[in-house]
Structure 1
Amino acid sequence: MLPNRVLFTACVIILTLLSACSSNKATDYEQISENDKIVIRFSHVVGEDTPKGQAARLFAKLVKERTKGKVEVQVFSNSSLYKDSEELEALAQGRVQMIAPALSKLSDLVPELGVFDLPYLYSDLDGYHKVFDGKIGSLIADSVESKNMVSLAFWDSGFKQFTSNLRPIRKPEDLTGSTMRIMPSSVLDQQFSLLRVNPVQINFNDVYLALEQGKIHGQENTISNIYSKRFYRVQKYMTLSDHGYLGYLVVIDKKFWNRLPVEIQKVIKETMNEVTAWQRNQAVQIEKDKLKEIQDCRCIEITGLTADEKAAWRQLFRPLYQEMEQRLGSTFFSELQLQP
């Protein structure tokens, strides 16, 4: 009879060998010359365990399988290649082929995307999806293409929440005088100016340190990003405000796209459509799961807003809607089908 420790070690070795054999079998189809392989470098700035991070990995896996290894999507998460302020230039210069920036980051290039920075635009994610998948989504795709990118999908992160080290945030005046990190966006800049906040733009991966060192008082983000970047560990208060939407536009370099064989373009589009449907459902579940984990840690005070409190915030932001309608035109605004 073998001692338990020896038996355990033998079992581990056998399982490791079986796993290796299985792995080799699964990758037999990859015996393709480097000259024939198509490599797509996909850069993004959030964690792997976020809705975008998980969707990027799934997309890469499915494309590899469906092209039998001919197309390899290399995913670089957490700003491991480029910061969010560097991604567009990297795409334009061909250093990466795919990125998935927040809609805010593209609003200077494509002004129509600025409308999705309006606070309390829709009360649920379905409202955004209907617009993305309809006429406005097509108009945006045309505008994006004119900037030498091809639009592949709109992905969700979810609704944004406030965090702060100064005080709980229930009323607009609770933000007065604070310094908050925002993404580059003229609409967000105006929004926080209305709140009498000092808005500052900081690369996403630098926000934790800025919060920890007290250079900024707070920020706005989705639960999954607050969790993955551990912002809740360097903030005292979080408000479940659902005041804004954070979504991403997955784009691929137009010159690179046009060089791809038609059959490869078809696989990429079909796979992206499937992954997007999965991603939208996954985003909702991840937000729920991560909120529970933050609540369970009992390391940050969490506040919710009542319907009346949200109505006060909406009223404050009405001038933003009027200005955006003048900028983009009443025809465009009518397509949004906003509730009065």
Structure 2
Amino acid sequence: MKKFLALATSVMLAAGTMLMSGCGMAGSNKGDTGSGGNAAIQLKVGFGSSIDTSAGGQGLKKFKELVEQKSNGKIEVQLFGDGQLGNDKSMMEALQMGTLDMTLPTTSPVAELSPAFLAFDMPFLFTEPAQAYKVLDGAPGKDVMSTLDEKGIHGLVYFENGFRNLTNSKHPIKNISDLEGLKIRTMQNPIMLDTFTAWGANPVPMAFNEVFTALEQKTIDGQENPNVLIYDAGFYEAQKYLTESHHLYSPYLLMIGEKKWKSLSAEDQKLIQECAEEARDYERQLSQKIDTEYLQKMKDKGIQVDELTPDAIQKMKDLSKPIYDNYADKIGKDRFDAILKAAADK
């Protein structure tokens, strides 16, 4: 009887070990996990675009590499791209609930949580990347980021999404009159709607993952996004014309849920912040490089590229002035003044 019990116990233990091993192997195939689930801390990161071909995705891969290397495998970063875990809004809600650890949305949908972020949707606020970096990485950008603390989210750094450009299937856009009546998809953001209305277009707010089908079926005439996303999402396949309007600089915000952040030691928080800053600098350089490369690829595939006339840019800026005034109080007038001052200082 003892021999039988001993044999039965051995079989059960062996079966349990095999089952646990099998579960571990299955789990390692979900997302870009890297270290096989042996880390003491896991960070699950969701992203709306491609991990492999977008600058933001490549920045997240660099962040993963740095964190896992510098923590000696103590912290594991799992990446889920292409909207596998939802859109920007739903992933931010998941951060607040503690069911997702990190995400990288553009700042426009973040304004639904904190109106302070509306400042970064102002047309022609920035005219060159260095100017944007100075504001975002300086006191004004950190002040805006801090408004998320009371919303259950902790901001880490601003990545680069890039300057937004216009595409459409109707005709070249060189003058502001060329926008008249065009159905242009915009982000679901009040400033974007007011801006394109002021410019004479017919703005259509729409989730990013619905845009390609709408362009293909001609329910909208065009859209506006950075070159990297226009190419990565294949929008150019349903468009004939691209205008390098640079009407808005669009940053990403790397964020972590406050519950997860507070569960980390001060040492781990410092490591994650430092890795985020290093990944940010890498991502920004890459973003500028592939922005140029992807524009050329779209030219090679037949899309016509134009530029706005100086007169058109000035008219668009003039028509945008009331929008600055209308949203100053929502952003916080002192906060917005500090942003404008920092942007203006050379």
Indicate whether the TM-score tops 0.5: yes
Give the alignment of 1:58-97 within 5 angstroms: 58-97=62-101
2:173 is aligned, of 152, 169, 175, to 169
1:187 is aligned, of 177, 183, 191, to 191
Specify the alignment match of 1:126 in structure 2: 130
In the alignment, is residue 213 of structure 1 matched against residue 217 of structure 2? yes
Q: 1:84 to 1:31 in 2, by over 3 A?
A: closer
Please give the secondary structure, in 2, of the residue aligned with 1:317.
helix
Specify the alignment match of 2:337 in structure 1: 334
2:259 is aligned, of 252, 255, 267, to 255
Specify the alignment match of 2:13 in structure 1: none
Query: What is the aligned residue count?
Result: 309
Deviates more, 1:170-179 or 1:48-57: 170-179
Offset at residue 31 of structure 1 (A) = 8.1
Q: Is the 8 A contact 2:116 2:330 kept in 1?
A: no
Letter in 2 for 1:283: S
Specify the alignment match of 1:54 in structure 2: 58
The answer for unaligned runs of 5 or more in structure 2 is 1-33
Measure, in 2, the Cα distance between the counterparts of 1:257 and 1:192: 38
1:315 is aligned, of 318, 331, 341, to 318
Measure, in 2, the Cα distance between the counterparts of 1:176 and 1:203: 23
Letter in 2 for 1:62: L
Measure, in 2, the Cα distance between the counterparts of 1:210 and 1:300: 18
Offset at residue 301 of structure 1 (A) = 1.4
In the alignment, is residue 275 of structure 1 matched against residue 274 of structure 2? no
Offset at residue 330 of structure 1 (A) = 4.2
Measure, in 1, the Cα distance between the counterparts of 2:54 and 2:272: 22
Measure, in 2, the Cα distance between the counterparts of 1:94 and 1:39: 13
1:233 is aligned, of 237, 258, 262, to 237
Offset at residue 328 of structure 1 (A) = 3.5
Measure, in 1, the Cα distance between the counterparts of 2:239 and 2:154: 38
Q: 1:124 to 1:32 in 2, by over 3 A?
A: closer
User: Could you state the TM-score of these two structures normalised by the residue count of structure 1?
Assistant: 0.86
Identity across matched positions, percent: 31
Q: Is the 8 A contact 2:179 2:200 kept in 1?
A: yes
Q: 1:190 to 1:61 in 2, by over 3 A?
A: same
Offset at residue 307 of structure 1 (A) = 2.5
Letter in 2 for 1:228: D
Measure, in 2, the Cα distance between the counterparts of 1:60 and 1:218: 35
- For residues 240-276 of structure 1, what are the alpha-carbon distances to aligned partners after superposition, in whole Å with 9 as ceiling and x for unaligned? 1111111111110001110112221121111111111
Offset at residue 308 of structure 1 (A) = 2.8
In the alignment, is residue 150 of structure 1 matched against residue 154 of structure 2? yes
Offset at residue 332 of structure 1 (A) = 2.4
Measure, in 2, the Cα distance between the counterparts of 1:126 and 1:161: 19
Measure, in 2, the Cα distance between the counterparts of 1:171 and 1:276: 35
Specify the alignment match of 2:16 in structure 1: none
Q: Is the 8 A contact 1:84 1:204 kept in 2?
A: no
- For residues 204-251 of structure 1, what are the alpha-carbon distances to aligned partners after superposition, in whole Å with 9 as ceiling and x for unaligned? 122111110112111000000001011111101110111111111111
Letter in 1 for 2:283: Q
Q: Is the 8 A contact 1:30 1:68 kept in 2?
A: no
Please give the secondary structure, in 2, of the residue aligned with 1:146.
helix
* Cα RMSD for the two superposed structures: 1.9
Please give the secondary structure, in 1, of the residue aligned with 2:151.
coil
Offset at residue 198 of structure 1 (A) = 2.8
Measure, in 1, the Cα distance between the counterparts of 2:308 and 2:133: 24
Letter in 2 for 1:109: L
2:144 is aligned, of 132, 140, 144, to 140
Please give the secondary structure, in 1, of the residue aligned with 2:148.
helix
